[in-house]
Amino acid sequence: MNQPLVLPLARAAIDRDYLTRTRDEVFAELFANPNARVMPIYDSQVLLVGAVDQPQPQLRLFEPADVPEWQQLVYLGKTSDDSADLPLGSPVILAILDEAQAFELAHKEEWHQLRRTGAGLSDRDSGLFAQSLALANWHATHKFCPRCGSTTTVKQAGWVRECSVDGHELFPRTDPAIIVSVIDDQDRILLGSQGTWKSNHWSILAGFVEPGESLTAAVIREMHEEAGVHVIDPVYLGSQAWPFPYSLMVGFTARIDPKHAQQDLLPDGFEIEKLRWFSREEIAAECADLLLPGRMTISRSLIEHWYGAEIVSATELELQ
């Protein structure tokens, strides 16, 4: 099997320390540790050390006493690397804040979305960001029991919600999606563009795995639905969390079935408006004018994996 790709949001340096979650008074115990740090999150935004939009952002972590109020705490785990700011084994606790709490802690302008710049995070901060955002998004949308509609309460250091009436337990969910670099017999890559996008904005095709479906079946179905192409031999390339709100992107490459090689591309007109085969020469010639997916996305990694090198596109030129 191929070595999986190294992906921006597949990195981490946290021991999730599952067993500690079940202890009574877990947060009091963790906060008593002098190396404990709190990571605040508000409306999918985090606080950074130093200026925003820097190429290598660093998450701003607080001592517990400096974050006095929150809506919800979640124990993320303990650091598994030794860094200048935090020794190995330091517990990190997520604090989910509401608007008043967030703006009490920091000015509105200091809260920052990392969707465009998060690829420059360290391994530790990348893992903390993906884990925190997915958990905060899950908590925000699972306040009620799906069986009876009663409120749910939080248990196990933020990793379980339980119905207050029937005891039904909810666990944080992850929604799998496949994303595929489709390659033709001339070694070109298939990119698509959505109707609402600018005309020079292209990405790889992707879709959610449906209930009762395998990953490879989803690859074959989605490529036929979105592009009218028949693909064969899906090969796994790597996966990464995509916490918007709590997906897991599973990356594949697949070839066009030679029996259908002459078939026209057929955009579904719903998700995908335009489709185009790109050769490496065309990417090289046009990249300064192309808006490709940002560096934090698996889509960008799959395109560059096929291309064989880093691509500097209009996406990065805009950020400079």
With CA atoms as reference, report the closest residue to 292 among 316, 272, 275: 316
Report if residue 151 touches Zn ion, rule: CB under 5 A.
no
What size, in residues, is the chain?
Answer: 320
Site string for Zn ion, 175-214 (x = CB under 5 A): ----------------------------------------
Cα 162 to Cα 36, 95, 138, 177, distances in angstroms = 27, 19, 14, 27
Structure tokens at 32: 């008593």
Report if residue 170 touches Zn ion, rule: CB under 5 A.
no
- Which of 108, 147, 173, 260 binds Zn ion (CB under 5 A)? It is 147
Report if residue 169 touches Zn ion, rule: CB under 5 A.
no
Report if residue 145 touches Zn ion, rule: CB under 5 A.
yes
Report if residue 148 touches Zn ion, rule: CB under 5 A.
yes
Q: How far is the CB of 162 from Zn ion (least distance, A)?
A: 9
Rounded-to-integer distance, Cα 214 and Cα 230, Å? 17
Considering only the stretches 96-104, 165-173, 190-198, 240-248, report the one whose residues sit in contact with Zn ion under the rule CB under 5 A.
165-173
- Which of 54, 150, 263, 279 binds Zn ion (CB under 5 A)? It is 150
* Binding footprint of Zn ion, residue count (CB under 5 A): 8
Q: How far is the CB of 142 from Zn ion (least distance, A)?
A: 12
Which residue's CB is nearer to Zn ion, number 71 or number 164? 164
Report if residue 163 touches Zn ion, rule: CB under 5 A.
yes
Rounded-to-integer distance, Cα 93 and Cα 108, Å? 22
Residue 9 Cα to chain centre, angstroms: 6
Rounded-to-integer distance, Cα 138 and Cα 309, Å? 36
Structure tokens at 219: 């690859």
Considering only the stretches 116-124, 149-157, 181-189, 310-318, report the one whose residues sit in contact with Zn ion under the rule CB under 5 A.
149-157
Q: How far is the CB of 128 from Zn ion (least distance, A)?
A: 32
Considering only the stretches 53-61, 140-148, 215-223, 283-291, report the one whose residues sit in contact with Zn ion under the rule CB under 5 A.
140-148
Cα 38 to Cα 33, 69, 249, distances in angstroms = 12, 11, 28
- Which of 85, 166, 187, 233 binds Zn ion (CB under 5 A)? It is 166
Looking at residue 42, the DSSP 8-state letter turns out to be: B
Which residue's CB is nearer to Zn ion, number 166 or number 310? 166
Q: What stretch of H or E contains 125?
A: helix 123-141
With CA atoms as reference, report the closest residue to 304 among 317, 290, 177: 290
Q: Which residues contact 218 (CB under 8 A, 6 or more apart)?
A: 178, 207, 208, 209, 210
Report if residue 94 touches Zn ion, rule: CB under 5 A.
no
* Site residues for Zn ion per CB under 5 A: 145, 147-148, 150, 163, 165-166, 168
